[in-house]
Amino acid sequence: MSAAPELARLVLDELLPDVRNRAVKALGGVEGEAVVARLEQHHLDLIEPLFALYDKKADTTAFVRRLLYQVVATATGRSEPLRVLDRRREVDPRWFQRARQIGYVCYVDRFGGDLPGVRKRLDYLAELGVTYLHLMPLLKPREGDNDGGYAVVDYSSVDPGLGTVADLESLAADLHTRGMALCIDLVLNHTAAEHPWAVAAAAGDQAYRAFYRIFPDREMPDRYERTLPEVFPDRAPGSFTHVPDVGWVWTTFNSFQWDLDWANPEVFAAMLATILELTGRGVDVLRLDAAPFLWKREGTDCQNQPEVHLILQALRACVAIAAPAVLFKAEAIVAPQQLVQYLGAHDRFRPECDLAYHNQLMVMLWSALASRDVTLTRHALSRMRRTPPSTAWVTYLRCHDDIGWAVADEDAGAVGLDPTAHRHFLSTFFSGDYEGSFARGALFQHNRRTGDSRISGTAAALCGLDSARATNDRVQTDVALRRLLTLYSVVYAYGGIPLLYMGDELALPNDPHWADDPAHAADNRWMHRPPMDWSAADRRHDPATVEGRVFAGFVRLARVRAGLLALRAGSPTELFDPGSRSVLALRRKHPSSGSVVALANFGDDAVLLPRDSALPGLAQDSRMVLGAEGGLLSPYDVTLPAWGHAWIAEP
Ligand code: OTU
């Protein structure tokens, strides 16, 4: 990268006067100068990675100049309401770390029918304290099976079944009026096979062939596949698809999802244009789908390559100049050591994504639930590298995907578990096949070669609610609900933006009709993507119902969380051992407001924690702010019921 600073200087010297002219002319002196300042602030974070990625392929100077003009044009063309958001968030760059941030994830059609329908449901979300709405893929997908929208044919249009671009803009504006942010998916790794770029490539257009990775024969695919894991071994084995008259196309996921070749600078430019366009629609957060897969290298698993991070850093810098209100969220469901890097936690910090899914927390919560033992959970989470204070996790329990058992061999080994056996136990337990298991999930993508499998099922079903309801067992129903809320109490306390997955607030069961749609029948992830049950939602204020109890639990979690400064993101979470194998204990500190301790019991029995030994250092007049008992904290001990939880706050 040695020549990059020199190049950066050149570019800046040449561009600055012109950018200043344009920006001041478009936005006036105050705002125009801010654009110039952003360019000065971020240009190195843009130029260095681009230089490292593309210098051998393109005239980097000309390429950078071209991109920067696009970026500046976006900045100067932003609407006034969006520039107000830019301004606010530049003044308050940690806005997304607030304790009052609560996320909600849903499918547009399954939640509200269409985008205008979602607008009508915002009061419902407000009841849950939601400040961040992640709408599942909504850009125009291919017809038929499109992997839940992750196979896009047109990044500039909204799926006509869901609405229009204007509807998206109106929804974003509504959300902003309510202080809510909008997150949407951006599928960066691949397009649909029917995307015009892919169609042109298939027709022989050389420029577009270079957008994808297409091989004339099996030689290279075979070489890559020696070290490539399969993502969908059942449904879409291998990582390449033979397309007649075209060749072998790299398709990491389904055969209709063609991987883009990010080694081609024109792919970078094209996706940047897409991103810049979306920032203009009022989108606040882009979920970068399948980020780890962007760069391929023979002899590796083709995930988390260093170039992936360079790409994200360069895109990040572009957006920081063009639309500083907008955040990136990494969807990198990878091992913990690799995961933190998406937040910029490399040996040297580099601004990268602002948010990333804490999939390790998610996996470790389920692991603790099945084993009634938090030793592995505590060990694995404590071992993670600290994340930069300017970033935040999104914490979650369930999402639309399967659960893959990302249990690191060294973590399992360190606590005396056989990693393969433990992963196998988790799959067997949550599929319900394990003797005495309360869970009712299903195996996803069982790999006959490696023996690995993942799990599908709603949170409620995995917590035992479906099995309890099937036998009308009131006691087990109660226990299942406690498990669900206790798991979520950790998600809400961990320090990040907690994401509530649509339907969990009503403990929705697995969708019994998931396979009825032929486009879904081969993919059992649809069992945990049930349509919103609005008649169940109508019972949410009735405490005599399951829905009423769960919903009230979530409302309470949100309300209490919002008042606890220590739960804001941006500072480390400390896990400690309160002297019980079944109790996960964590402490969050805030410099001015005192700490919060969150306790979650994963055991079948109540646990009594003597205050002196289990919770040392906690201020005498601390209060129980959340928990079965509520109210005052005994000076002597804390009792956690089976599957119960408690939050204790220092005054
Ligand atoms: C993502 O998931 C989406 O969340 C899935 O719904 C899509 O099917 C997929 O991309 C393709 O677009 O492997 O099993 O490390 O784990 O990107 C799901 C990230 C997946 C991958 C993740 C991927």
Ligand 1 proximity of 332 Cβ (cutoff 6 Å): yes
Cα 400 to the center of its chain, rounded Å: 11
- Both tokens of 177, joined, read 């009026």
CA-CA-CA-CA torsion sign (29, 32, 35, 36) = negative
Q: Which of 107, 183, 331 to mutate to test the pocket of ligand 1 (most atoms within 8 A of CB)?
A: 331
Q: Is the pLDDT of residue 2 over 60?
A: no
Angle of helix 265-279 relative to helix 306-322, nearest 10 degrees? Answer: 40
State the distance between the two ends of the chain, measured CA to CA, in whole angstroms. 51
**CA 265 – ligand 1 centroid, Å:** 24
Nearest residue by C-alpha to atom 23 in ligand 1:
290
Dihedral, CA atoms, 321, 323, 327, 333, nearest 10 degrees?
A: -70
Cα 7 to the center of its chain, rounded Å: 35
Across the range 555-580, mean pLDDT stands at: 96
DSSP string for 540-552: TT-TTSHHHHHHH
Looking at residue 1, what is its pLDDT? 44
Residue 426 contacts by C-beta under 8 Å, 6 or more apart in sequence?
366, 367, 370, 405, 407, 455
Looking at residue 163, what is its pLDDT? 98
Looking at residue 631, what is its pLDDT? 53
CB 528 within 8 A of CB 457: yes
Looking at residue 517, what is its pLDDT? 95
Looking at residue 234, what is its pLDDT? 74
Burial pattern 309-337, b for ≥16 Cβ within 10 A else e, equals: bbbbbbbbbbbbbbbbbbbbbbbbbbbbe
Percent of the chain whose predicted confidence (pLDDT) is above 70: 99
Beta carbons within 10 angstroms of residue 476's beta carbon: 17
Q: Which of 333, 334, 399, 520 to mutate to test the pocket of ligand 1 (most atoms within 8 A of CB)?
A: 333
The boundaries of every CATH 3.90.400.10 domain in the chain are 192-259
Task: Tell me how far apart the alpha carbons of residues 234 and 627 are, in angstroms, rounded to a whole number.
Answer: 43
What values do phi and psi take at 357, rounded to 5? -65, 130
Q: What confidence tens digit (pLDDT) does each residue in 7-29 have?
A: 788 788 889 999 999 999 999 99
CA atoms within a 13 Å half-sphere pointing along the CA-CB vector of 520 = 16
Q: Could you identify the atom of ligand 1 that is nearest to the CA of residue 231?
A: 13
3-state per-residue secondary structure call for 82-129 = HHHHHHHHHHCCCHHHCCCCCEEEECHHHHHCCHHHHHCCHHHHHHCC
CA atoms within a 13 Å half-sphere pointing along the CA-CB vector of 406 = 21
**CA 613 – ligand 1 centroid, Å:** 44
Ligand 1 proximity of 147 Cβ (cutoff 6 Å): yes
Ligand 1 proximity of 331 Cβ (cutoff 6 Å): yes
CB 134 within 8 A of CB 287: yes
CA-CA-CA-CA torsion sign (617, 559, 505, 112) = negative
Cα 343 to the center of its chain, rounded Å: 12
Q: What confidence tens digit (pLDDT) does each residue in 432-490 have?
A: 999 999 999 999 988 877 778 999 999 999 999 999 999 999 999 999 999 999 999 99
**CA 624 – ligand 1 centroid, Å:** 39
DSSP character at residue 566: G
pLDDT band of 612, cuts 50, 70, 90:
confident
**CA 101 – ligand 1 centroid, Å:** 25
**Pairing of β 497-501 and β 392-396:** parallel
Nearest residue by C-alpha to atom 8 in ligand 1:
147
| Token pair 């000065």 in the structure block, residue | 40
Looking at residue 632, what is its pLDDT? 62
DSSP SS3 for 645: strand
What values do phi and psi take at 606, rounded to 5? -65, 150
Ligand 1 proximity of 508 Cβ (cutoff 6 Å): no
pLDDT band of 620, cuts 50, 70, 90:
confident
Looking at residue 68, what is its pLDDT? 95
| H-type alpha helices, 178-305 | 196-202, 206-209, 219-225, 265-279
Q: Is the pLDDT of residue 626 over 50?
A: yes
Fold that domain 572-649 belongs to in CATH: Immunoglobulin-like (2.60.40)
Across the range 25-53, mean pLDDT stands at: 95
Task: Tell me how far apart the alpha carbons of residues 35 and 22 are, in angstroms, rounded to a whole number.
Answer: 10
Q: Could you identify the atom of ligand 1 that is nearest to the CA of residue 404?
A: 14
Q: Which of 191, 309, 401 to mutate to test the pocket of ligand 1 (most atoms within 8 A of CB)?
A: 401
**CA 633 – ligand 1 centroid, Å:** 44
CB 501 within 8 A of CB 429: no
- Both tokens of 268, joined, read 């970078």
Ligand 1 proximity of 187 Cβ (cutoff 6 Å): yes
CATH number assigned to the domain covering 192-259 = 3.90.400.10
Decide: pTM greater than 0.95: yes
Classify burial at 626, counting beta carbons within 10 Å of its beta carbon; exposed 0-12, middle 13-18, buried 19 or more.
Answer: buried
User: Among the listed ranges 11-20, 303-312, 373-382, which one has the minimum average pLDDT value?
Assistant: 11-20
Residue 108's closest CA among 134, 130, 135?
135
Task: Tell me how far apart the alpha carbons of residues 441 and 245 are, in angstroms, rounded to a whole number.
Answer: 42
Classify burial at 538, counting beta carbons within 10 Å of its beta carbon; exposed 0-12, middle 13-18, buried 19 or more.
Answer: exposed
The boundaries of every CATH 2.60.40.1180 domain in the chain are 572-649
Q: Could you identify the atom of ligand 1 that is nearest to the CA of residue 148?
A: 6
Ligand 1 proximity of 292 Cβ (cutoff 6 Å): yes
Q: What confidence tens digit (pLDDT) does each residue in 391-440 have?
A: 999 999 999 999 999 999 999 999 999 999 999 999 999 999 999 999 99
Q: What confidence tens digit (pLDDT) does each residue in 159-171 have?
A: 999 999 999 999 9
Ligand 1 proximity of 231 Cβ (cutoff 6 Å): yes
Residue 216 contacts by C-beta under 8 Å, 6 or more apart in sequence?
247, 248
DSSP SS3 for 610: strand
CB 491 within 8 A of CB 361: yes
Q: Could you identify the atom of ligand 1 that is nearest to the CA of residue 454?
A: 14
Please report, as a single letter, which amino acid is at residue 161. G
Ligand 1 proximity of 546 Cβ (cutoff 6 Å): no
Q: Is the pLDDT of residue 230 over 50?
A: yes
Q: Could you identify the atom of ligand 1 that is nearest to the CA of residue 151?
A: 12
pLDDT band of 223, cuts 50, 70, 90:
very high
CA-CA-CA-CA torsion sign (394, 395, 401, 405) = positive
Beta carbons within 10 angstroms of residue 221's beta carbon: 20
CA-CA-CA-CA torsion sign (138, 141, 143, 145) = negative
Alpha carbon distances (Å) from 208 to 198, 201, 215, 276:
7, 5, 14, 21
**CA 258 – ligand 1 centroid, Å:** 14
pLDDT band of 628, cuts 50, 70, 90:
low
Q: Which of 234, 239, 289 to mutate to test the pocket of ligand 1 (most atoms within 8 A of CB)?
A: 289
Ligand 1 proximity of 259 Cβ (cutoff 6 Å): no
Q: Is the pLDDT of residue 146 over 50?
A: yes
Query: Residues with catalytic annotation?
Result: 289, 331
Ligand 1 proximity of 357 Cβ (cutoff 6 Å): no
Residue 527 contacts by C-beta under 8 Å, 6 or more apart in sequence?
442, 456, 457, 458, 510, 511, 514
